[in-house]
Amino acid sequence: MSGLGISDILARVFRLAKNGDRDHAYELFQGVLPQIVFCLQNLELYHHAEKLLLEARGIISRSIVRQASRTLLENEAKHIRFLNSKILNLLDDHGFPRNYGRNAILGPESAVTRDTVA
């Protein structure tokens, strides 16, 4: 499940860059880069952060990481929550739904249809 938390944003970054709008792609990528850099310090940290982001987006109901040999320190959890709030703001600012869910209408102008990488 890891990687899904920002895959829609990264798909749009790719599509924008591919279509020549590199400035907008760069701006959008800058919004997710702090989370990517922080989370990739350690794979288990990444799993915790990814699950917490999926929970914050309402995609999963609880962020449970199976048998991790490492638990989050309080300052790490606090920083992940801060980074996740920035991702949620980025989603809102750029018209992404926080959760595509079953009830999302996937018309031709939806973010899912528009940003799917072929």
Q: Alpha-carbon distance 106 to 111, whole Å?
A: 8
Q: Alpha-carbon distance 46 to 42, whole Å?
A: 6
Return the closest-CA partner of residue 40 out of 81, 3, 84, 87.
3
Write the pLDDT tens digit of every residue in 11-45: 999 999 999 999 999 999 999 999 999 988 988 88
What domains appear along the chain, each with residue ranges and CATH number?
4-115 (3.20.20.70)
> pTM of the predicted model, to two decimals?
0.72
CA geometry: angle 76, 85, 1, nearest 5 deg:
70
Are 65 and 48 a contacting pair, CB within 8 Å? yes
Please identify every stretch of the chain with a pLDDT value under 50, giving residue numbers as ranges.
1-2, 105-118
